[in-house]
Amino acid sequence: MARFAVALLCLLAFQYEVSAFGVVKQSPSVNYGSQSSTQLFAEGAKILMPALSSTMKEGKVVSWLKSEGDEIEAGEAIMVVESDKADMDVEAFEDGFIAKIIVGEGEIAPVGEAVALIATSEDDIAAVAAGGVGETAAPAATEEAAPAGGESVETTEIFMPALSSTMSEGKVVEWLKKEGDYVEAGEALMVVESDKADMDVEAFEDGYLAKIVKGEGEMADVGAPVGILVPDEASLAMFVSKPISLSPPVTTGASAAGPPDVEFSQIDMPALSSTMKEGKVVSWLKAEGDPIEAGEAIMVVESDKADMDVEAFDEGFLAAIITEEGDSGAVGAPVALIAANEADIPALKAYAASLSGAPVPAAAAPAGAAAPAAAAAAAPKKVAAAPAVATGDRVVASPMAKKLAEEKGIDISTVAGTGPNGRVTAGDVEAASAGGASAPAKKAAAPAKPAWTPAPGVIAATPMARVAAKKAKLDLSTIQGTGSFGRVTLDDVKMATGEKQPERKKSAATGAPAPELPEGFVPFTGMQKAVSNNMVGTLTVPAFRVSTDIEMTAFEALYQKVKPSGISVSALIAKAVALGIERHPIINSAYSAQDGGGTLFKKDINIAMAVAIDGGLITPTLNYANERPVAELAENWKELVGKAKSGTLSSAEYTSGTFTISNMGMFGVTDFGSLLSEGQGAILAVGGTQDAVVPCSQSILGLKKVRKMTITLTCDHRQIYGADAALFLRTLKNIMENELDKVSA
């Protein structure tokens, strides 16, 4: 069975564990009666049975790759686990030593149960193996004889999960379980409303819901406790009799001052994969002060898997960048702030400095201003805003106000704004809905341009436009702005320099608009970058190609016979290729630089097939294709293609291929060659089937018409030679022409 690397969170046994709720704090020794203290003598960590699939309930330890006492490093494979899907390598997530193996080879353990213990130092191995904790001698006797009120209860706190990269708090819409109910791992526990949508939150372990900390309708910060689980009914009874209190979150000095009293949103470091702990900001696609729109890419983040674009979920202005390019931040840590109003950028920059630990920039003040006067100015009172003045077709409103107006069926242009610069707030919409807001004056003929004008001597332009104009040595005052409020945009500067053409008008002849074609540079997505890097990597491989034609008349007849059963051409070709590789295992090999170079043979035949998806290319894999019936392969392939198009393939479903097929025949291509996939020795390009006339001794004219398909094999010439490729193609040709009974089996 193929082994796929899966990162295992080696969770701290006496401090934290991770669940579907985020970080779950373990309290294995909460004491209610006895005054004896429990001391931690050796620092250890549990290795838990991981959930290798969404349906996995338990796993079997196939083999331990390390023995007790062995030193391990983060990222090193330590065991092989058999799930309900496949055998997978499990990696350590921290350095240390294997202190004790709890679940031996061949034994089964439920998901979340400890299978081994890790000691942080070699000296602690014996202590961690013995249990890791000890109690002082005298109190131990007291604890042993303590009445029921002095026993300990193991509890697990349920935290408010981060359901999106921008979520900072969530609302408990509904509890699907009540206090005292039994909960199974994977069972929906509650419904949480984030800043995006309502989502079910599942339990990651079995137990009883001992306490609901946050009731329905209440809000909680991400990471704040919302409930408590206990493992069994006895613990539940003990907890109910003497419940514990949750420790309040510790506030840091940096955040004690609190955020400024302005409308803004915080961009946090998103979790781009299930194993990601921190991310590195590769580049910012926007500069401080730039306007941004919801859905617009603002930065590129490097995770433990790939580089990915991160989009903004709110419109506004990039007020402050907290994590600079090249710097890393923990998942959930703030990386930037978005201001709803451009005028609030200075205040948010000062607040960002407090978040990042940098010196807070002093606000501009008169030279002779006294300290008390500065302190008094630090907290200005809100000034009542005048009702909004019509400024053309653009309505300035907060995202929440727009969403609320849409839900209530209110035309937001009819709502009088009381926010900064007449901005419509959520409160204004609520007031308008209740009939408490005075109706705004009916709009007169709207001005052709927004009514706002910059201060004398100030040229309204975006930061990017200013940079471009300075580089091109253009006077901004000579450029007509087309942006909001008449601002000069980057496109305006590009049109002034001739770098971009003005918008084309409708054709005078037909009256139809000119076709809109893409123009300019578009940065790669994370997937496109990965494909590009893999293709460049193949340029160093000495590859060669061989081709042959296969008569497809019998194959097409077989397909028409099995088509009603849901069997596809892709499944039939994959099975035929896998059977051919069985007879020529060198085709399934890869080159290895070990010991100066050699052939790396692979015992499993996993056929990967290229699938074009929006914005990239991916290769879902049919594992053990030579061993499985074609009907099963067809069903599996249909599922994989669906996942590929919806972006829900797991890593193991597209990274485990040992041989790749690229079929462009379905697009009418008759003959082509493919580039090798990284880590593989060969790839097969399949062309389209077409009519051909061939000699035939039994025909009256000595000719007959047949259906032919051209296939081209690309090989790594370091370990696969021309004769190997030719023999494989001959075998494959014979299978597809004369041994179709084996393919359809």
Determine the residue type at 240. Answer: V
How far is 537 from 148, CA to CA, in rounded Å? 66
Q: The tokens 């302190």 sit on which residue?
A: 375
Residues in the chain: 745
Q: Which tokens hold the place of 327? A: 């710097």
Q: Which two structure tokens, joined as six digits, stand for 282?
A: 């590769």
Cα–Cα distance, 7 to 2 (Å, whole number): 16
Phi, psi of 603 (to 5 degrees): -75, -25
Sequence-ordered strand ranges (E) for 250-293? 264-268, 278-284, 291-292
C-alpha 283 chain-centroid distance: 18
Q: Which amino acid is at 729?
A: L
In Å, how far are 396, 493, 663, 689, 743 from 737, measured between CA atoms? 69, 64, 19, 14, 11
Chain centroid to CA 367: 50
CA dist., res. 74 & res. 336, Å (int): 30
Alpha helices in 168-316 (DSSP H): 233-241, 253-256
Query: Annotated catalytic sites, by residue?
Result: 717
Q: In 261-272, which positions are buried (b, 16+ CB within 10 angstroms) versus exposed (e)?
A: ebbbbbbbbbbb
* Alpha carbons 162 and 145: distance in angstroms, whole number: 44
User: Tokens at residue 510, please?
Assistant: 């037909």
Six-digit token pair at 56? 């996995």
Instruction: Give the DSSP H or E segment for 128.
Output: helix 125-129
Distance of CA 336 to the CA centre of its chain: 19
Closest CA to 291 of 322, 311, 318, 264: 318
Q: Is 278 helix (H, G, I), strand (E, B) or coil?
A: strand
Q: Kindly list the distances between the CA atom of residue 9 and the CA atoms of 121, 178, 186, 472, 540, in Å, as whole numbers in the listed order.
A: 19, 30, 18, 52, 36
Q: How many C-beta atoms surround the C-beta of residue 470 within 10 A?
A: 11
**Residues 6+ positions from 349 with CB-CB distance below 8 Å:** 288, 319, 320, 361
| Spatial separation of the C-alpha atoms in residues 617 and 340, rounded to whole Å | 38
The Cα–Cα gap between 709 and 686 comes to 8
Instruction: Check residue 742 and report its DSSP letter.
Output: H
Task: Name the burial class of residue 410, with classes exposed (0-12), middle (13-18) and buried (19+) by CB atoms within 10 angstroms of its CB.
Answer: middle
For residue 474, give the 3-state DSSP assignment: coil
Contacts of 553 (CB under 8 A, 6+ apart): 706, 707
Between vectors from CA 200 to CA 197 and to CA 201, what angle results, nearest 5°? 115
State the number of CA atoms in the 13 A half-sphere of 577 facing the CB. 33
Closest CA to 645 of 621, 620, 678, 665: 620
Cβ atoms 171, 192 nearer than 8 A: yes
Q: Distance between CA atoms of 638 and 369, rounded to whole angstroms?
A: 73
User: What count of other Cβ atoms lies within 10 Å of the Cβ of residue 373?
Assistant: 11
* Total Cβ atoms within 10 A of residue 156: 23
Q: How far apart are CA 616 and CA 529, in angstroms?
A: 9
Question: Under DSSP, is residue 514 helix (H, G, I), strand (E, B) or coil?
Answer: coil
